Structures are given as C-alpha cells and as structure tokens.
Structure 1
Amino acid sequence: MQTDNRLFDDLARMASGALNAVTGLKTEAETLVRQQLESFVSSMNLVTREEFEAVQAMAAKARDEQESLAERLARAEATIASLTAPKAKEATSPAKRKPSAKT
C-alpha cells in the first residue's frame, strides 16, 4: 500500500508541475498576444477610449457654442433689419423726394 501512496504522490506532483507549466505558458501567451495587439493598434493610428471621449466632449461643446452664436447672430440681424427698414421706406417715399428741376 505504501508504494501505491508514493505512486499517487508522484503523479500528483507531476500533475501539479504540469499545471504550473501550463499556467505559466498561458500567462506568457496572453502577454505576447496583448503586445502584438497593442503594436497592431498603434500602427493603425487608432485612438484610445479616453481620447475619443475627450474629443467627443469638445465637439459637443463646440456645437453648443455654434448654436448659441447662430441664435445671437439671428437676433442681431433682426435688430439691424428693424432699424434700417424704416429708413429705407423714408428714402423712397414720394413726399421726401426733392422736386425735380424742370428746364
């Protein structure tokens, strides 16, 4: 019986060693694949998620500012149009015209 226990102990140690080797190999393979993917992504000039979100926030802010400026410009144009419209009518009204000199 003692030899059976020793045999099982040896098998357990071998299995444990093999499992450790496989685990180490798995970790090494994951690291290698990660490095290759990072190299591939960097060669494609892709942006990170953080960079994308930062630019997206900047674009949203710029869009809001542009809409605000467009509204402001429309109000300014309306004000200018209301101020210049009566003067244009006065200039073309017949009562304000100078009498033409008849020869």
Structure 2
Amino acid sequence: MQNKSEFGGDFAKFINGLAGTVAGMSREAGESARERTREWIAGLDFVSREEFDAVKEMASKAREESEALKARLDALEAAMANKGAGPAA
C-alpha cells in the first residue's frame, strides 16, 4: 500500500512540475513573439503620430500660402490687363 501512495505523490509532483514547465515555455514563446513583432515593425518605415501631424500642419500652411499667392497673382494679372486695356481703348 505504501508504494502506491508514494507513486501517486511522485506522479502528482511530476505533473505539477510539467505544468509549470509548460506554462514557463508558453510565457517565453509569447514574449519572444512580441519581441520579434516589435523588431519587424521597427524595421518598417512607419512615422509617429507626432511626425504625421507636423507634416499635415506644414502641408496645410503651404496650401494656404499657395492660395494666397494665387489670389495675389490673379489680382496683379487683372490690374495689368485693365491697365493695358485702358490706354488702348
């Protein structure tokens, strides 16, 4: 009877140890996968949100300046056309 009890206790210890080992391996595999994913993403040419917003703001300002310059050029061309048409008429 004593041998069966010892076998049961040893078997339970073995199963507990195996479960702990499997849990540790699972944890390590997850960490390794996360690290590989981070490295892969870092190798891509993604921009940060701050960089994206800065470029977006610069493009908006450039568009506004371009529109202002176009309006000014249109006004100058209209003034030149009126000035040129005035004396000839």
CA separation in 1, counterparts of 2:75 and 2:63? 18
Identity %: 17
**1:90 offset after TM fit, Å?**
2.6
CA distance in 2, matches of 1:29, 1:64: 46
> What is the root-mean-square deviation of aligned Cα atoms in Å?
3.0
Match of 1:76 among 60, 72, 78: 72
Residue identity opposite 2:25 in structure 1: L
Question: Which structure shows the higher helix fraction?
Answer: 2
**1:21 Cα shift?**
1.3
Structure 2 residue 47 is matched with structure 1 residue 45: no
Query: Structure 2 length normalisation: TM-score?
Result: 0.66
Scaled by the length of structure 1, what TM-score is found?
0.60
User: Whose relative contact order is higher, 1 or 2, with alpha carbons under 8 Å and at least 6 apart?
Assistant: 1
